[in-house]
A and B are shown apart, each in its own frame.
Chain A
Amino acid sequence: MRISSLKPVVVILIALALSPAILAQTAGHSGIKKTASVTHTPDLNGVWANITEMAPSFNPKEDPSFQSWAEVKWKANKNDDPGQPIITNGRVDLDPTVASCFPTGMPRLMTEVFPFEIVQLRDRVLILFEKDYAVSHIWTDGRKLPEDPDLSYMGQSVGKWDGDTLVVDTIGLKDITWLDRSGHPHSDALHVTWRVRRVNHDRLQIDWAFDDPKAFTKPWTGRSIYRYHPDWTLEEFISCEDRLSHVGESLEQKAVKGQNP
């Protein structure tokens, strides 16, 4: 009889144990678990430098197949000087960044020799570029790409995690820029998909897909590799400082015209 009369008390104690008031005491544990899952997001933070085999481009698996206007532009832009590798820097006199001081823009910045720093925030991944001191904002808060974005040099980027890979989509790019250092042209319809993965402590690998029906007859792909430099900090690189100091023409440009110092 005594035992049966205790049953309601036991039930009440169990109920209390499971009540929000009691659970609140364990909220810290719950929070820790959530934090732990966040830290499982791959750590891409740090300074990275381009060591891609055909770094002036994106080490393309096969040559891009161009629309006719883009083919003409590519043939003009590429540097065919003797002794040059197949993929090298484009012609400086046609390079919008070197010849005309336009911002480098995306995705070309990812082919430059200067390092960049990745900073992972709660709602986005930032890429801070040494060149031009440009910043790419890759939003990871679930937002969609804009339907008809205003065009810019850095474009609009969103990203989401697919396991250990950050999958980024970039659109809204001005067509004044080269797609890469080698001089591949692109249009304002360019859609870049990049899959960013830290393959080991020292290496970042990005698989690229370039879809631009106005410029290419079919999408093309490539892969870039970057080395981790934990002891580096970003310096400053400004493309046209000498030009501004010498009334519109650099001393190199004057020399090319035959003018001695």
Chain B
Amino acid sequence: MKNKRLATLIGLIGFLLVSGPVLAHHGRSNYDVTSTATVKGVVTEFDWVNPHALIHFDVTDDNGKVEKWIAETNSPNTLSRQGWSKNTVKVGDQITLVGHRVKGGANYFNFSKITFADGRELNPAIQN
């Protein structure tokens, strides 16, 4: 069942779609970087915290069951330089995230791209 739900929620897009610098300030060994996934949900909280800003969001599967997810991305200092602020992601936003799921299968994600319902896309990657 769980696998079926995951198949619904997560589409494998392929290798190397996620740019390297996303997690560059520490290792990516906690994530399954061999596959890139997409997750859709509704934001319940945006936590502007070090060392990674965290988006808490709800994912609803085909059967209407809601699961809590967390997606982490770059640090506030890096995001600030990319034009983000603590108000960039708002409660209630419908978001689509592309990135890697944590190893072991928990509902935890690291994303390299976020797309909002209005089509706006943001990339949080470090750009030195």
Contacts and interface: CB of A to CB of B under 8 A. Distances in A.
Contacts of A98: 26-27, 51
A259 B80 contact: no
Secondary structure at the A interface, as helix, strand, loop or mixed, is loop
Interface of A: 49-51, 55, 79, 81-85, 88-93, 95, 97-98, 112-115, 130-131, 181, 227, 232, 235-242, 245, 251-252, 254-261
Contacts of B67: 260
19 contacts: A50-B128, A81-B33, A88-B27, A89-B28, A89-B29, A98-B51, A113-B126, A114-B77, A241-B50, A241-B51, A242-B49, A242-B54, A251-B54, A251-B72, A252-B52, A255-B70, A255-B104, A261-B56, A261-B69
Given A256-B102, A260-B107, A261-B70, 6 more contacts: A92-B30, A114-B77, A235-B77, A237-B51, A239-B51, A256-B106
A259 B50 contact: no
Nearest to B128: A49
A260 B77 CA distance: 27
A202 B56 CA distance: 39
B13 interface: no
B3 interface: no
A236 B77 contact: yes
A87 to B, nearest CB: 12
B81 interface: yes
Interface residues of B, number: 40
Contacts of A235: 76-78, 80-81
Contact of A252 (B24, B80, B108): B108
A239 B104 CA distance: 24
Contacts of A252: 30, 52, 72, 102, 108
A113 B128 contact: yes
B89 to A, nearest CB: 16
In the A-B complex, list the 3 residue pairs whose CB atoms are closest, starting with the nearest.
Answer: A255-B108, A235-B77, A89-B27
A108 to B, nearest CB: 12
A95 B51 contact: no
A112 B24 CA distance: 8
Contacts of A130: 77
A112 B75 CA distance: 13
Given A81-B28, A82-B34, A89-B24, A114 B106 contact: no
A83 B17 CA distance: 12
